[in-house]
Amino acid sequence: MDWRHNAACLDEDPELFFPVGSSSAALAQAERAKNICRTCTVVETCLKWALDTNQDAGVWGAHSEDERRTLKRRINRVHRV
């Protein structure tokens, strides 16, 4: 079975996980999405998938686009050392 079948977001509106912009409303929407992720049993798998497949939009594994970019840079730095 695919890990997505066990995701806490399965029955949520997908739009919630794709806030647009950086307004206070968009940031609040992203935080609501992350809160759902934080309850999820496959959150680590989701984050790994998003990093491995270069997802550049949305909240995946309780991380926004910017948070994933930062995490990926850190991972790449560690692997270069």
Determine if residue 75 is labeled as part of a ligand binding site. no
Q: Which of 72, 39, 66, 75 is nearest to 58 (CA)?
A: 66
| 54 is annotated as contributing to ligand binding | no
- CA–CA distance, 46 with 37 (Å, rounded to integer): 9
Q: Which residues are annotated as a binding site?
A: 9, 37, 40, 46
Q: Which residues are annotated as a binding site for [4Fe-4S] cluster?
A: 9, 37, 40, 46
